[in-house]
Amino acid sequence: MEDNSIKTGKAAGKGKKNKGIQGEPSGRSLKGCPSIKFLGLLEETSTPCYTHMKIEEALSAAWALLDFNDMVLDSGLTDAGFEGEPFTWSNKRVWRRLDRVLYSQEWAELFNSTRVSHLPRRLSDHHPLLISATRTEDKVPSSFIFQHMWIMHPNFQEMIKQS
């Protein structure tokens, strides 16, 4: 089985943790990769700032969040958002949204709608993500034109009743 994970982005907090993105292509960086067609599932390792954190931890987390956002912007990816519970991970004391779905412009052109639902967690400390992508074909306008002369046809009313 091929490993499609990509370690990319600046290290969180000046060298502590990397962000991981799963999807094509295999490589070390997303920037400048025109062949990204796959939706990316991302586990964000940056830590949000909370009031109970020490000053150094809060500053490190703030830098990590900025680095993470820069990586997403530089990669040209879009966050798909979500439906359901706001958090994707919990250790029963702390709840965080660590997992998210990002997609490329090519993905957006291929699918009209991408929805992400956070499902209830059962066996893991992470909520599973259900990704629904729909593609609707452009409808060709009908070339049917009603001709008023059809009303004069002797079988007109019978044809209407049958159809």
Question: Are residues 10 and 67 in contact, defined by beta-carbon separation less than 8 angstroms?
Answer: yes
Mean pLDDT for the stretch of residues 39-65: 54
Question: Are residues 44 and 17 in contact, defined by beta-carbon separation less than 8 angstroms?
Answer: no
Every domain of the chain and the residues it spans: 5-135
119: pLDDT confidence band, cut at 50, 70 and 90?
Answer: very high
Mean pLDDT for the stretch of residues 7-36: 41
Q: Which two tokens stand for residue 114?
A: 């991408």
The answer on pLDDT for 9 being more than 50 is no
Instruction: Lowest mean pLDDT of 84-88, 135-139, 144-148, name the range.
Output: 135-139
